[in-house]
Structure 1
Amino acid sequence: MTAVDAPPIVFVHGTRFSAGQWSPQLAALRDEFPVSAVDLPGHGSRSAEAWSLKAAVEVVSDAVESLGCGPALVVGHSLGGYASLEFARVRPERLRGLVLAGASASTRGAWAVPYRWAAGLVPRLPADRLAGWNDWLLRRMYPAEVVEATIRSGYAFHTLPAAWDEVLGRFDADAMRHVKAPVLILNGEKDSVFRSGEAEFARAHPRARVELIPRAGHLANFDDPVAFSEAVRRFAQHLSNSG
């Protein structure tokens, strides 16, 4: 693959995190592809900005444009996956391929009830206590080189209620019909909640396939950074080879 053929890749983080979530993938792929990771509105460097899906789409679109290499492969995790589905609907001309990671569950119906409850609870808890708990959990579960960039960037607990409120009730497998580009549904094998609709999501798109990261959970790119990066690499190479 030549530099001209290599598709640009834009990474979109999950709930409460930031662009730092993707530091292992950026390090693994930057020598082969133009890569970028965004901070969604209300997160990371954009912490003071108000959340909306519309604003999130513009952030992703600007990142694609800034790479200057044409339509991009967009990799979205969890909240970022649903934002990427909205990007695919609104800006199809800027999408070369889509990776949905931990974002192939319907956000409608009874599934959403506990998440609405949690979204209402978060603002009642001290942000510093939530941050400390997250720091402790990430450092206990993962090597420092995988999570330190995420920890340094802090957490967007203040944005979580607005983000979940807009996403819950909005997405199901029918959203896949708006995606004009090939799709890789990339889930952790043990992520039983967020891969619960993966078969329906895959059936709803003629060029979608499912790939699982063995023994990984919802944070599959932390659980096995190498396998996750390799899956994205293979998909990007497939996009390049198929034109």
Structure 2
Amino acid sequence: MTVTQNESPTVVADDGVRLWAARSGIGDPLVLCHGGPGLWDYFEDLAELLADLTPVVRWDQRGCGRSEREVAGPWTLDRFVADLDAVRRHFGLERIRLLGHSWGAQLALSYALAHPERVSALVYVAGTGIGPDCDWHPAFLANLLARLGEQPERLARWRELDDRPVRSDDEDRESAVLQWSAEFQDQERAPARAERMADPWLGINHECGRALNQERRRSWGTPELYDACRALDLPVLILDGARDIRPRCAVDSLESALPRVRRVILPDAGHMVWTDDPKGFREAVGPATA
């Protein structure tokens, strides 16, 4: 994958914080928003999968991955929306096509709601809808334990690490890889695929993750959010894996609110949709990259 050489890999946000970003290919890119919160861009394989369809812009969110790590926030959705707008400006894009995955789907949707005139299309992948956490989080935890429990020693080790108030960096990585292994439908290949996500290991920003998850619990599921989605006049693709351990019914709230929406559910995919079903993912996303 070739990064355009005449553009700096450093985006400077409006408050001076430096964000890592990279653009591949030539032409109108698809801007990718990774999940977390508190993680880093893990879209190298996705960018390669779509390389003949569209160039992409990848970036690490504030305080995460290769972006400036010496920052202490603010860890708010509004701040992350502003950072995404800085990425747009940096690459000279008047309007952007957005793809967000997991927490990144929430970020991409929030950007589109804040700046609809700056978005031409939105691909919402494996998100959790616009309802409150009670719509999906209890079922997610139950499904996570069940998936990990298919190998009892894996579940026991994950519980042991999760119960520790303080973990070393190596233990943090091990815990993440164990949990990420539950996100793939193909459980035989899941450990290797989870290891790939952790290589290189750039360290989870837990403070960032806690703050943004708390904000979502306070503010998501409001009548104002539903009304804003009903007024969003741009094409949206909702793309799900039916075997995601987050219940897909939670996303019905978003689908029913949007006026211009297409939804594709891939029956043999989990949370990492493009890894579990690359062919189905390409076929679904292709029209949104045209």
One-letter identity of the residue aligned with 1:152: P
Correspondence for 2:127:
103
**CA pair 73-194 structure 1, distance change in 2 beyond 3 A:** farther
Who is 1:36 aligned against? Answer: 57
The partner residue of 2:220 within 153, 159, 171 is: 171
Aligned to 1:210: 263
Contact 1:52 1:166 in 2 (8 A): yes
Deviation of 1:7 after TM superposition, in Å, equals: 4.1
TM-score by length of 2: 0.67
Moved more, 124-133 or 172-181: 172-181
Tell whether the 8 Å contact from 2:132 to 2:217 is kept in structure 1 after alignment. yes
Structure 1 spans left out of the alignment, 5+ residues: 238-243
Residue 70 and residue 226 in structure 1: after superposition, are their counterparts in 2 closer, same or farther (change >3 A)? farther
Q: Which residue of 1 aligns with 2:148?
A: none
Shift of the 195–160 alpha-carbon distance from structure 1 to 2, 3 Å rule, reads same
Aligned-partner residue type, residue 167 of structure 2: P
How far apart, in 2, do the equivalents of 1:18 and 1:107 lie?
25
User: Within 5 Å, which residues of 2 pair with 1:85-164?
Assistant: 85-108=109-132, 110-111=134-135, 124-128=165-169, 129-135=171-177, 141=190, 148=196, 150-158=198-206, 159-164=208-213
- Is the 8 Å Cα contact of residues 240 and 248 (structure 2) preserved in structure 1? yes
| Preserved contact between residue 231 and residue 259 of structure 2 (Cα < 8 Å) | no
Identity rate, percent? 25
Q: CA deviation at 1:188?
A: 0.7
Contact 1:88 1:180 in 2 (8 A): no
* Cα contact 1:122–1:157 (8 A) shared by 2: no
Question: Larger Rg: 1 or 2?
Answer: 2
On the 8 A contact 1:79/1:103 being kept in 2, the answer is yes
Query: Match of 1:207, as an amino acid?
Result: R
1:113, CA displacement in angstroms? 6.7
**Deviation of the 1:181 alpha carbon:** 1.5
Larger mean Cα displacement after TM superposition, 211-220 or 46-55: 46-55
Give the counterpart of 2:249 among 177, 192, 196. Answer: 196
Which of 2, 5, 8 aligns to 2:29? It is 8
Query: Please, which moves more after superposition, 94-103 or 193-202?
Result: 193-202
- Contact in 1 for aligned 2:123/2:236 (Cα 8 Å): yes
2:98 counterpart of 1:45: no
Mapped to 2, the partners of 1:218 and 1:191 lie a distance apart of: 5
Partner deviation per Cα, 1:147-199 (whole Å, 9 max, x = no partner) = 63653143424222112111224334715235331100111111253522333
Comparing 190-199 and 36-45, the one that deviates more: 190-199
Give the distance between the partners of 2:163 and 2:274, measured in 1 at CA: 25
Contact 2:121 2:235 in 1 (8 A): yes
* Residue pair 2:241, 2:269 contacting (<8 A) in 1 also: yes
SS at match of 1:191: coil
On the 8 A contact 2:240/2:264 being kept in 1, the answer is yes
Q: Which runs of 5+ in 2 are unaligned?
A: 1-24, 142-161, 182-188
Q: Distance in 2 between matches of 1:109 and 1:33?
A: 34
SS state at 1:197 partner: helix
Higher relative CO (Cα under 8 Å, sequence separation at least 6) belongs to 1
| Amino acid paired to 1:166 | E
